[in-house]
């Protein structure tokens, strides 16, 4: 029998996907998501669709599912049910309706507690209506309030931000329903977050270690009906320390703050994603977990190679392949890409001017340009970068990518890695193409920057800083001029390098593509939703519902399913030990 999983603050379902993907020796799922709760409408539609998919063995997934994800444009998920009805697929209709009951759109903290408790109790019932005592709670309370970038924008954390305290909904479920084990995820910024100069992480640890007391204090009185023994909190990547360095005024296993951070790139994920993930084991169990095994480095090339090539589009002008090519080719008019000019020049070469001098001269040069004073800037001194840019320009001129992508493309899709397990994880021949692979539009000036940045990255093996840019390609944003000397976001234009892990995919990818430039200069664009999803280790048949902006947000906020699957393996071992006991204590 599968172990029930309650997934709260579920997002598009990354944690749930990982746990659902773990199979036993008979090929049956070890874990079964019986309730997913998410407040965002489009993410909840994604959850519903995936919950429907999971109810079938892969070879038995109805063809209507694949027909649905091949539809062009944004289509409401309930269109799938109409397709099942039209084809009189009774089994499909029944499982769609079941999925619709599992995936709940609701905002924890707003939904009535009695209603929430009834959903949980229903999700934990066996066929005879009895509660299953062996079950798992997973989820990550919204992290925007704790993220370092978010805090820097807002000037810190406000105690009035209701997202700060949504973790209380998590410990209320712990106190009320007593799962034997839980997994809780959040951003690394949680470790340094403070409210009224009080460290949030220490407070959260105290509360989830003793949720009954925390819940009682929250209500201002002792709650007699709650009987929760509390939890020991463990790391997935570090065994308990022996030096007895007490960090918190609580008993239990001894860890440092950073022991709870999972650096995904060390565990076979093609992305430098660092997240706090806590493992809670109820105190009345004498259990200690194993830890994750480090794995071979997985790169951008391993997962993004052999995806159909597409071009970006023009956001401010009439778009066509010819117009797109012509706008990029204008780069030669705006920046000197050839050696040996006879025009008067002022070189800012690194071999002639040290970095402080370049930084001092550049702001003056920029002001001079505004006054129409003419100088030739030849700051791209790496001949190989120039050659790569010219090669890309020639390809864009003579043989550009013809399509700018779509929600579905009927073209052969493969993956760079030859590792059998990964190919089986990502690929699905039944799709007969690729989904969620639409390129976003860009301004002409940004296309020129993308060409430079991707060429620079391919040759130099890193993303350029703003001080590496030719003057003509510097952005006009107010932050850019200060970024040349001293800015937190000096590397605002960032290319994902073929032979390295990607930088962290976040929901910011929905704003613009500057942080997420595709490594191929010939395509001159930012990452698509599908490419971001691959870096987040979502299988290709995992379809994201909603408009493209919503899709990007869903992918950026998700837990990588492949790291969740590895975590599920550790949790499964713990449940096996529990099942070997004669009874489950309460």
pLDDT mean over 377-387: 71
Q: Decide if 50 is inside a domain.
A: no
Q: Which residues pair with 194 in a beta bridge?
A: 199
User: Of the ranges 84-88, 368-372, 505-509, which one carries the lowest mean pLDDT score?
Assistant: 368-372
Using pLDDT thresholds of 50, 70 and 90, give the confidence band for residue 158.
Answer: very low
Query: What is the Cα–Cα distance from 371 to 369, expressed in whole angstroms?
Result: 5
Predicted local confidence at residue 579, as pLDDT: 85
Q: For the segment 511-522, what is each residue's pLDDT rounded down to a tens digit?
A: 989 999 999 999
Evaluate whether residue 56 is within a structural domain: no
Lowest mean per-residue pLDDT among 2-6, 85-89, 367-371: 367-371
Q: Do 315 and 391 belong to one domain? A: yes
Query: Which of 62-76, 153-167, 524-538 has the least mean pLDDT?
Result: 153-167
Q: Quick one: average pLDDT of 568-573?
A: 98
The larger pLDDT score, comparing residue 401 to residue 142, is at: 401
Do 318 and 257 have their domain in common?
no
- Residue 382 has what pLDDT? 78
**Burial of 323 per CB tally in 10 Å (0-12, 13-18, 19+):** middle
Question: How does pLDDT run across 216-243, given as a tens digit for each residue?
Answer: 877 655 555 578 899 999 999 999 877 6
pLDDT (mean) for 547-559: 97
Question: Strand runs (DSSP E) across 106-180, as ranges?
Answer: 136-139
514 and 375, same structural domain? Answer: yes
Per-residue pLDDT at 370: 44
Task: Please classify residue 12 by burial: count the beta carbons closer than 10 Å to its beta carbon, then call 0-12 exposed, 13-18 middle and 19+ buried.
Answer: buried
State the average pLDDT over residues 178-207.
88
Any idea which of 47-51, 252-256, 335-339, 522-526 has the lowest mean pLDDT? 335-339
Residue 417 has pLDDT above 60, yes or no: yes
Compute φ and ψ for 29, nearest 5 degrees. -65, 135
For residues 357 and 241, membership in a common domain is answered with: no
Q: Is 108 helix (H, G, I), strand (E, B) or coil?
A: coil
Other CB atoms within a 10 A radius of the CB of residue 386 amount to 18
- Together in a domain, 278 and 134: yes
Asked if residue 324 and residue 231 are part of one domain, the reply reads: no
> What does the pLDDT read at residue 476?
63
Q: At residue 356, does pLDDT exceed 70?
A: no
Q: How buried is residue 1: exposed, middle or buried, by Cβ count under 10 Å (0-12/13-18/19+)? A: exposed
What is each CA distance from 169 to 183, 203, 218, 287, 501, in whole angstroms? Answer: 14, 14, 11, 26, 35
Listed in sequence order, the residues at least 6 apart from 431 whose beta carbon sits closer than 8 Å to its beta carbon are: 66, 69, 70, 413, 540, 541
The per-residue pLDDT for 375 is 35
Element of type H or E holding 579: helix 561-579
**Contact at 8 Å (CB) between 570 and 237?**
no
Find the mean pLDDT for residues 147-170. Answer: 57
* Catalytic annotation present for 143: yes
Provide the angle, in degrees to the nearest 10, between the axes of the packed helices 444-460 and 383-398.
130
Residue 247 belongs to a domain? yes
Decide if pLDDT at 551 tops 70: yes
381 shares its domain with 446: yes
Of all residues in the chain, the percent with pLDDT exceeding 70 is 81
> Has residue 76 been placed in a domain?
no
351, 382 Cβ separation under 8 angstroms: no
Q: Please state at what angle helix 200-209 crosses helix 167-177, rounded to 10 degrees.
A: 10
d(CA 169, CA 499): 42
Q: Looking at residue 195, what DSSP letter applies? A: E
Residue 47: inside a domain: no
Residue 99 has pLDDT above 70, yes or no: yes
DSSP 291: -
The predicted pLDDT at position 340 comes to: 44
Same domain? For 403 and 537 the reply is yes
Q: What is the mean pLDDT of residues 468-487?
A: 61
d(CA 252, CA 234): 9
Q: Which range, of 247-251, 396-400, 493-497, averages the lowest pLDDT?
A: 247-251
Per the structure, the count of domains in the chain is 2
Bridge-based pairing state of the strands 3-8 and 313-314: unpaired
Q: What's 254's domain CATH number? A: 3.40.50.150
Rounded to whole angstroms, how far apart are CA atoms 32 and 55? 9
Q: Determine the average pLDDT of the residues in 531-551.
A: 98
* The pLDDT of residue 472: 76
Which of 44, 143, 228, 524 does the annotation list as catalytic? Answer: 143
For residue 477, pLDDT beyond 90: no
* Same structural domain, 290 and 387: no
Tokens of 172: 């209320």
Residue 550 lies in a domain: no
pLDDT score recorded for residue 143: 56
pLDDT at 480: 52
Q: Is residue 339 part of a domain?
A: yes
What integer pLDDT is reported at residue 372 of this predicted model?
36
* Residues in Cβ contact with 318 at an 8 Å cutoff, skipping those fewer than 6 apart: none
Q: Compute the distance between CA of residue 272 and CA of residue 270 in angstroms, rounded to an integer.
A: 7
Q: 63 lies in a domain?
A: no
Q: What is the pLDDT of residue 478?
A: 42
Cβ burial of 75 (10 Å; 0-12, 13-18, 19+) is middle
Considering the domain architecture, whether residues 155 and 171 belong to the same structural domain is answered as yes
Residue 586 burial (CB < 10 Å; 0-12/13-18/19+)?
exposed
Q: Are 505 and 273 in contact (CB under 8 A)?
A: yes
Residues 280 and 421 both lie in one domain: no
Residue 433 near residue 410 (C-beta atoms within 8 A): yes
pLDDT value of residue 467: 74
Question: How far is it, in rounded angstroms, from Cα 193 to Cα 144?
Answer: 11
Other CB atoms within 10 Å distance of the CB of residue 187: 24
Number of H helices, E strands in the chain: 21, 14
Instruction: Name the average pLDDT for the chain.
Output: 86
Could you tell me if 154 and 277 lie in one domain? Answer: yes
The predicted structure's pLDDT at residue 215: 87
Confidence of residue 167 (pLDDT cuts 50, 70, 90): confident
The residue that leads in pLDDT, 455 or 482, is 455
Domain coverage including residue 24: 3-40+104-297+561-579
Calculate the CA dihedral of residues 569, 573, 576, 580 and round it to 10 degrees: 180
For residue 352, name the pLDDT band (cuts at 50, 70, 90). very low
Average pLDDT over residues 15-32: 97
């Amino acid at each position: 029998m599968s172990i029930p999983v309650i997934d709260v603050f579920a997002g598009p379902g990354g944690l749930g996907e990982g746990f659902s993907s773990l199979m036993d020796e008979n090929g049956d799922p070890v874990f079964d998501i019986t309730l997913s709760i998410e407040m965002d409408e489009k993410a909840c539609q994604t959850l519903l669709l995936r919950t429907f998919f999971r109810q079938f063995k892969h070879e038995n997934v109805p063809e209507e599912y694949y027909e649905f994800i091949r539809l062009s444009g944004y289509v409401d998920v309930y269109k799938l049910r109409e397709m099942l009805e039209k084809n009189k697929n009774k089994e499909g209709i029944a499982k769609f309706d079941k999925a619709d009951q599992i995936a709940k759109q609701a905002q924890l903290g707003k939904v009535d507690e009695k209603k929430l408790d009834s959903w949980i109790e229903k999700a934990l019932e066996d066929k005879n209506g009895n509660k299953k005592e062996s079950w798992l709670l997973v989820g990550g309370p919204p992290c925007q309030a704790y993220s370092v970038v978010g805090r820097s924008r807002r000037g810190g954390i406000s105690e009035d931000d209701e997202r700060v305290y949504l973790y209380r909904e998590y410990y209320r479920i712990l106190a009320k329903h007593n799962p034997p084990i839980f997994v809780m995820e959040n951003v690394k910024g949680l470790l340094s977050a403070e409210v009224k100069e009080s460290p949030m992480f220490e407070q959260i640890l105290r509360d989830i270690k003793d949720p009954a007391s925390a819940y009682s204090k929250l209500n201002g009185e002792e709650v007699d009906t709650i009987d929760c023994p509390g939890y020991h909190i463990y790391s997935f990547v570090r065994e308990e320390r022996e030096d007895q360095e007490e960090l918190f005024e609580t008993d239990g296993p001894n860890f440092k703050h950073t022991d709870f951070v999972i650096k995904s790139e060390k565990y076979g994920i093609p992305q430098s994603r660092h997240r706090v993930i806590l493992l809670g084991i109820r105190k009345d169990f004498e259990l200690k977990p194993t830890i994750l095994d480090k794995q071979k480095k997985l790169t951008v090339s391993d997962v993004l190679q052999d995806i159909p090539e597409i071009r970006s589009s023009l956001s401010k002008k009439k778009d066509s392949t010819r117009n797109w090519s012509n706008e990029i080719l204008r780069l030669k008019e705006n920046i000197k890409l050839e050696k040996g000019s006879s025009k008067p020049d002022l070189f800012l070469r690194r071999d002639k001017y040290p970095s402080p001098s370049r930084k001092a001269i550049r702001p003056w040069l920029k002001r001079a340009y505004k006054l129409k004073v003419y100088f030739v800037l030849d700051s791209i001194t790496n001949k190989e970068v120039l050659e790569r840019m010219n090669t890309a320009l020639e390809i864009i001129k003579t043989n550009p990518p013809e399509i700018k992508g779509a929600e579905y493309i009927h073209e052969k899709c493969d993956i760079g890695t030859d590792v059998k397990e990964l190919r089986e994880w990502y690929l699905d021949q039944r799709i007969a193409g690729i989904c969620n692979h639409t390129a976003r539009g860009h301004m002409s000036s940004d296309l020129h920057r993308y060409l430079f940045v991707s060429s620079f990255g391919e040759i130099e093996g890193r993303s350029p800083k703003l001080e590496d840019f030719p003057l003509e390609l510097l952005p006009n944003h107010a932050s850019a001029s200060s970024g040349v000397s001293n800015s937190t976001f000096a590397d605002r234009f960032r290319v994902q390098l073929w032979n390295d892990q990607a930088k962290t995919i976040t929901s910011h990818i929905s704003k613009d593509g500057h942080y997420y430039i595709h490594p191929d200069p010939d395509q001159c664009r930012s990452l698509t939703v599908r490419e971001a999803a691959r870096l987040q280790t979502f299988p290709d048949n995992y379809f994201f519902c909603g408009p493209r902006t919503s899709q990007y947000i869903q992918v950026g906020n998700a837990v990588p399913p492949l790291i969740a699957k590895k975590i599920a393996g550790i949790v499964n071992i713990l449940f096996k030990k529990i099942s070997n006991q004669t009874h489950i204590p309460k």
